[in-house]
Amino acid sequence: MASGDFCSPGEGVEILQQVCSKQLPPCNLSEEDLLQNPHFSRLLLSLSQHVDESGLSLSLAKEQAQAWKKVRLHKTAWLRLEILQRIIQELLVDYYVKTQDTKLTSEDKKFHETLEQRLLVTELTQLLGPSSQERVMPPLLGLEKADLLELMPPSEDFVWMRARLPLEVEEQLKKKCFTLLCYHDPSSDSDSETLKAAKVWKLAEVLVGEKQQCQDAKSQQKEQIVLLEKKSATYSQVLLRCLALLQRLLQEHRLKTQSELDRINAQYLEIKCSAMILKLRMEELKILSDTYTAEKVEVHRLIRDRLEGAIRLQEQDMEKSRQVLNSYEVLGDEFDRLVKEYTQLKQATENKRWALQEFSKAYR
């Protein structure tokens, strides 16, 4: 197929998009991607002719289908045996429950005891493994199959039990089917056994139909999810374009006048601030004029002049003291030694003066 058949806008691109979404889910390609890469589009279309919807090649898909068919057959056979095994175990459990509540007939006791004995001996025989000729390790507890076969019930009881077993199993299965029917359709609980049996006969078809509906709903959900992802990607691109347009509008229209607006606002705020400062100064002067008379203001002016004169004298004295200290600092370590010696002599003199005062008090 030529590239123009599917890469040009129209039906070819739409078909290729459907193929990519169903058979090649990771290839989430838009129409623009397909138009820009025609050779890659041709490769995808040719590849889709050799794979199925799961992405496997047709030969592998056929082998997988055959393998799944065998698995289903083995699974069905295993389920039959498993169901029969569980039904028999439930029969024995129900038997022990009934023995505690009601009295059973001798035939029922004989049937269940024979069934239990046969089942236990069979399970133990399977645990022993192969025969003594094929066994490598010693047998479990030193037992052989012949030892366990001696514990088998009599053949007459076994034949009688095996003839009755299908009826018991059928009855147990019927109870389970009726239980399943009532769970699926609670309104069937009050129906007769004949009507329940008729409904059970169609229950499998109903369940298969419901299962198919669930699978169809899941498939539709997957398709909706893929469609939602595509729409989300498209919406994201549209939003990005809208943001780019908004940014361009801001840059071309609003930002051009922003500097002029800022200058005007700054001038307005400056004038407003100056007016507020003048108003505060006016209020301050008004408060001062209301608080202090002319005499008080004159007295405060005199006090301030005297304080300022005292401050100037103190500063002059401090400057003289600083000059004296600077002259002493020229002496260096010798001055520090003289200061320490003078301090010691002064302290000794004070001590002797105090001792003399104490002696004088004593002689008085």
As a whole number, mean pLDDT of residues 272-295 equals 87
Is residue 270 over pLDDT 90? yes
pLDDT tens digits for range 161-177:
888 888 888 888 888 88
Whole-number average pLDDT of the chain: 79
CB-CB contact of 164 with 112 (8 Å): no
DSSP 321-343: HHHHHHHHHTTTHHHHHHHHHHH
Q: How far apart are CA 83 and CA 89, in angstroms?
A: 10
Q: What are the boundaries of each domain within the chain?
A: 12-49, 79-127+144-190, 207-298
Is residue 331 over pLDDT 70? no
Burial class (CB in 10 A: 0-12, 13-18, 19+), 320: exposed
Q: How far apart are CA 302 and CA 285, in angstroms?
A: 20
Whether the predicted model's global pTM rises above the 0.75 cut: no
pLDDT tens digits for range 199-231:
888 888 888 889 999 999 998 998 899 888 888
- CA 40, 46, 49, 55 torsion: positive or negative? negative
pLDDT tens digits for range 19-37:
665 555 555 666 666 677 7
pLDDT attached to residue 5: 42
- The count of C-alpha atoms lying within 13 angstroms of the C-alpha of 291, restricted to the half-sphere facing its C-beta, is 8
- Give the CA angle between residues 268, 271, 272 to the nearest 5°: 80
